[in-house]
Structures are given as structure tokens and as C-alpha cells.
Amino acid sequence: MKRKTWNPKVVSLGVICLAVLMIPRFITGTLTLQYIINIMIFAYFATCWNIVGGYAGQLALGNGVFVGIGAYVSAVLFNYEGISPFIGMLIGGAICAVLAIFIGSLTFRLNGSYFALATVAMLHIIRLTFMSNKYMFGYKTNGALSLNIKWRGGFQNMQFENNVGYFYLIFALLVVGILISWYIKNSKMGYYLQAISTNPEAANSLGVNVMAMKLKANAISAFMLGVGGTFYSFFLNVIDPSKMLGYDMSVQILLFAIIGGSGTLVGPILAAVLLVPVQDILRGIVGASVQGLAPMVYGLILMIFVYYLPRGLWPSIVTLYENLTFKKKQRMAKDGR
Amino acid sequence: MSTFTMYLQAVIDGLLIGGVYATIAVGLSLAFGVMRIINWAHGELLMVSMYISYFLFTWLGIDPYLIIFLTAAIMFVVGFLLQKLVISNMLAREKSVEPTSVLLFTSGLGLFLSNLALALTSGEYYSAVTEYTGKMMKISEIFISVPKAISFVIAVVCTLALYVFLQKSETGRAIRATSQNRDVAILMGVNMKSIYNIAFGISIAMVGLAGGLLIPYMTLNPNIGSTFGFKAFVIVVLGGYGSVIGALVGGLLVGVIEKVGTLAASDITAQICVFVVFILVVLFRPNGLLGKKVKM
């Protein structure tokens, strides 16, 4: 009876990918394209954070700082050394990974809440250091002022004349991010992380090296965030330290992961697709004159979700779907009898 | 002015602001000690109580130091209701002792409150001009700001009053019993739910108090909460969770570190110092510098 068919998940993913790739053919408005790029970049960030925050269950509140570090490293290398951001992002990512291992080896010994606070303290230390020094390691980073990225143009410099180029570039980044996340989730490491997240003592007694696994997850996540920071800063063409290294960036990233359903593959992306446009829509309605509306709405949504749907959006949808199909099957069985 | 006087001046300034820090941190410490809740919106609630005090002052026009008790009462109700209507349900649902969901919820609340203030005030800074603002006393070479001194005295008295309340009164004993062992306290006939409501109410009332104390000499802006919020965490960790006297000592210490650091290096270096101290204490003395043995 059972025929060999395509995995519906793979098929639907392929269809979605093709559909997204077609977007620039139909949407030519620079602004609309920019909104979509924003969605994709935050979906990517949330996916990266999810590896340590969701799979490993470590509430790394301050890990958005790696976005800023990655951005700074590749921008400085590009501006002053002329190194292509495609190489710069790897260097930036590697620095982030090393830093993540260092910070993690200090803070992973702490239990949940202390760990969360310690990561935020680290974020503030790094942010304040950047904002108070005009030069970092001999390179001019402009301190609290923004650092502009020099315009050289061309694919190898990650600089395009219009948003279409960035659209394809960041779409590729997102796809790679999702593939890595998917691979980790279904690998041995993913199961180890899940065990650590549910019960670290039990995982430890079963021979999982808890510390090493957490560090590995943190390093991978930080590397990916650093790479993402490079793409984001070259898309924006400027680095504003209060935004890129700020606490709000961190909260926004984890917000999408938590609301979507931390620990799931789809959740962070779904939440980014639903919530990133809120900012742009609000700006469209009330104009840019009223500050703080979008983060206010994000705060409200976070509260509502943590209170009513603590597992997040995607797991709730899955449960709902399963309940419906189960009832349908029950009804069909009843009718058949 | 000699170097010694400058440093003495910095230490005194640090102690004066440290007293208010202590009042803020005591509330946070109480919430964690009893309910093991990390209230991430603590600083933002401080910001809210500063705005409440400011508007009460401008509308009613009475002495700013009388308003603090009014603000404290309002914030007590806010805390009581927040715990009774929202947080208690989340605690009941969570299996773990130290629920991270409450941390997330309060971080959402903090984000909401600070940006609500930003949207309502459109980023404008307020500062209350009271009859105390800008007044100075001179004792030989040292200048002491009058409003800071008054706020310091009230802050320390209120913190000590809370200590006495927790030690001597029936409710205080019940609160301490609950923080030591929840289950046994329930067996001893402590109504845990109402104790939680009261404890969280007091926690937020202390913030209300501190908000009022800051009004005569501090400019108000929507982001002020996060500045104080993290400092309060540092102080609580320094003093040991749940310890009132520890929070008082920690508050004074952080105040002094800040002012002396600013004098010796720069404002930002002083801020970095506070965070570094936090990480060092968390790593090496997780029970605080003089905290009681709290089970981690």
C-alpha cells in the first residue's frame, strides 16, 4: 500500500524556498524589500540564538552582543585592511566563538538565573568598552559614534547597488542557518543538548559531558551570530554601537525564539515573520515621530505569550493540529464501525 | 582642594547615593529571597514610581518627602496585584524552584514600561524643582547636598525598619519562614499565597519609596530604570540574596565604588567596574560578601 513518496516536509520547504526566491521578481519597492530582508536577518539571528537558548536551554540573555562584535571585526578589517567581508565574517565569527567559550567556561557553572544575569553583565562590559574607546586594538571604531563602512561596491565586498542583491545574499544566509540548526537538532549533539536542557544531572550521570556540550553550542551559536552581524552591518552600511551591541538587540533576538517556541526549528522563523513587520507597520501608521512603540508592543506580546502560551507559538500549533487530526481519526473510526 | 578631600568627598557622595541604592536592592532581594523570583522589571518599576512621584509633586505641590509614602502605598498595591493576579499563576504552573518564565515575563514588562514611558513623554527629560533641589551644606572642606542627605537618612531608616519588621513582626517571621523552607512553613499554618502577595507588595513598595527619594535631585528619563535595575542586581548579589543588612552594605559599597571610580578614572570605567564586581562575586562568592548560606 505504502508508496515511496517525497517527504512532505522537504517538498514544502522546497516550495517555500522557490516562492521566496521569486519575491524580487514581483516586489520591486525598495522599502518592501528592505522589510523582507529585516525579517530574514532576524529569523536568522533567532535561529542562531535558539541553538544555545532553545536546544541547550540556557537563557543567554546577553548573547546578542556577538552580533555587534562580528559586525565590528569585519567592518574594521574591511575599512582599514581592505579584507573582503566574506573573510572578515569568518574571522569575526571565530573571535565570537573564542569569546563565547571563554565567557561560557566562567558562567555555565552558574544556575539558570545567575547565568542569564552574568551574560547581561558581559554584554554591558563589552558595550561600555566599545563606546568609551575611540580606538580598539589600534583601529578607529569611533567610540559611541557610529562607524561607517566604506563604499567599494561589488559582490566580493558584500555591497550592492540595490536591495535585490542583499535579498539573495541574506536569504542564502538564512537557508544555511536553518540547515545548520536542523542538522544540529537531529544529530547526536542535538539529543545531548535536549537531555541537558531537560535534566542536566541525569544527562551528566549518563555520560554526557555537560560543560563541553554547552560550550560547543555556545561557540556555534556565537560564530553564527557573528557572521550574521557582518551581513547585517554591510546591509545597513553603518554600525551604531548602542544598537548593535545593545541590550535591546539581545532581547529582540531571544524574544522571537521564545515566542515562536524555543527549541523548535520552525518557531523562531515563524515568530520573526509575524513580529518583525510589526515595527515597520507601526512606523507606517503613526510615523517615526513617536518613539518606542514597537518595543512596547514587543514587550506586551512577550508578556502575553509567556503567560498564556509558555511553550511558544509553534508547539501550540502542532498540538492543535494533532488534536484536530486525532479527533478526525476518532470520528472516522466511529463512522467506519 | 587636596587629593584627600577630593576622595573623602567622593566617598561621602557615594555613601549618600548608596543609601538609596540599598532601598532599591532590598526590595529585589526580598522578592528573590522569598519567592526566588528574578524581577527583571525592578528598575522599570522604579522608573514608574519616579514618574508617579514627579506628577504627584507637580499636581499636589506638597513636600516631596511626604509624597514618598504615597508613592510607596501606590506601588505596594501594584506589586500586590501583580503577584496576586499574574505571577502567582505562573509560579503554580512551574515545577522548578526558580522559574525562568517569570524572568522572561518581567523582562517583557520592563521592555513594555520603559518604552511606554518613552512613547508618552516623547523622550523629554523631566526634573522636579523642589525647595531642596540644589541646596548644599558645607562642613569644613566637604560639600554635602541637602536633598541627598535627607534621602539618605530616610532610605537607611526605612531599610532598617524593614529589617526590624522582618525580624520581629508575625508577618515578617512568616515571610522569613517561607523563604527558608516553603513546605514546612505551609505545614506550620502559614498562608503561603497571601505571604507571597505581601512580600512582593513590600518589594515594590520599597521601589516606590526609592523613586520618591530620587526625585528632588535626579533628572527623569525613560531609560533610567535599566541603569538602576542592574545595579540593584549587583548589590543583591554582593549582599547575599534575601539579606536586608547585606543589601544595605552592598548598596553603600556600590555607591562608593562608583563615585571613587569616577574620580579616579572616568564615569564609564566606574560603570564597567560595577559589572566586573558583579561577575567576580557571582563566580567566587555566590552567597554574597556577608550573606547567609543560601541554598543555590
B289 part of a folded domain: no
Chain B nearest C-alpha distance from A275 (Å): 15
Taking an 8 Å cut-off on Cβ atoms, the answer to whether A296 and B116 are in contact is yes
User: Could you tell me if B43 lies within 8 Å of chain A, comparing CB atoms?
Assistant: no
Chain B nearest C-alpha distance from A137 (Å): 18
User: Could you tell me if A113 lies within 8 Å of chain B, comparing CB atoms?
Assistant: yes
Q: Point out the residue among A248, A251, A310 whose CB comes nearest to the CB of B101.
A: A310
The amino acid that residue B19 corresponds to is: G
Q: To the nearest 10°, the Cα dihedral for B194, B195, B198, B202?
A: -170
B268 part of a folded domain: yes
Phi-psi region of B218 (alpha: psi -120 to 50; beta: other; left: phi over 0): beta
Number of domains composing chain B: 1
Distance CA A178, CA A48 (A): 9
Taking an 8 Å cut-off on Cβ atoms, the answer to whether A116 and B109 are in contact is no
Distance CA B183, CA B246 (A): 26
CB contacts, 8 Å: A310 with chain B: 90, 93, 101
User: Could you tell me if A295 lies within 8 Å of chain B, comparing CB atoms?
Assistant: yes
CB contacts, 8 Å: A300 with chain B: 108, 112
B275 part of a folded domain: yes
In the 8-state DSSP scheme, what is residue B286? Answer: T
Angle at A40 between CA A38 and CA A43, to 5 degrees: 110
B295 part of a folded domain: no
Sequence ranges of the domains in chain A: 23-285
CATH of the domain at B36: 1.10.3470
| DSSP line for B128-192 | ---SSTT-EEEETTEEEEHHHHHHHHHHHHHHHHHHHHHHHSHHHHHHHHHHH-HHHHHHTT--H
Q: Point out the residue among B105, B115, B269 whose CB comes nearest to the CB of A296.
A: B115
Which pLDDT score is estimated for A5?
66
Coil vs helix vs strand at A154: strand
Q: Which three cell numbers stand for residue B45?
A: 518599576
Mean pLDDT of B156-162: 92
ipTM of the complex, rounded to two decimals: 0.86
> In sequence order, which residues have a C-beta less than 8 Å from that of residue B258 and are 6 or more positions away?
B14, B17, B270, B271, B273, B274
Taking an 8 Å cut-off on Cβ atoms, the answer to whether A292 and B115 are in contact is yes
Name the fold adopted by A23-285: ABC transporter involved in vitamin B12 uptake, BtuC (1.10.3470)
Coil vs helix vs strand at B1: coil
| Chain B contact probe: residue of A307, A308, A309, A311 with most B CBs at under 10 A | A307
> In sequence order, which residues have a C-beta less than 8 Å from that of residue A3 and are 6 or more positions away?
none
B42 part of a folded domain: yes
CB contacts, 8 Å: A200 with chain B: none
- For residues A239 and A149, the answer to whether their CB atoms sit within 8 Å is yes
User: Could you tell me if A288 lies within 8 Å of chain B, comparing CB atoms?
Assistant: no
- For residues B263 and B257, the answer to whether their CB atoms sit within 8 Å is no
User: Could you tell me if A112 lies within 8 Å of chain B, comparing CB atoms?
Assistant: yes
Query: In this structure, are strands A147-148 and B142-145 parallel, antiparallel, or unpaired?
Result: unpaired
User: Could you tell me if A296 lies within 8 Å of chain B, comparing CB atoms?
Assistant: yes
User: Could you tell me if A89 lies within 8 Å of chain B, comparing CB atoms?
Assistant: no
Q: Whole domain around residue B111: which residue ranges?
A: 3-284
Taking an 8 Å cut-off on Cβ atoms, the answer to whether B103 and A59 are in contact is yes
Per-residue pLDDT of chain A (337 residues; tens, 9 = 90+): 455 667 777 788 788 888 888 777 777 777 788 888 999 999 999 999 999 988 988 888 888 899 999 999 999 999 998 889 999 999 999 999 999 999 888 888 877 678 888 888 889 899 989 888 888 887 888 888 888 888 888 888 888 888 888 889 999 999 999 999 999 999 999 999 988 888 888 888 888 888 999 999 999 999 999 999 999 999 998 898 888 888 888 888 988 998 898 888 899 999 999 988 887 788 777 766 777 888 888 889 989 988 888 888 888 888 888 888 888 888 888 776 5
| Chain B contact probe: residue of A123, A128, A254, A256 with most B CBs at under 10 A | A128
Mean pLDDT of B126-131: 79
- For residues B127 and B57, the answer to whether their CB atoms sit within 8 Å is no
B294 part of a folded domain: no
Which pLDDT score is estimated for B219?
86
Chain centroid to CA A161: how far? 26
Phi-psi region of A226 (alpha: psi -120 to 50; beta: other; left: phi over 0): alpha
Chain B nearest C-alpha distance from A295 (Å): 6
Taking an 8 Å cut-off on Cβ atoms, the answer to whether A251 and B111 are in contact is yes
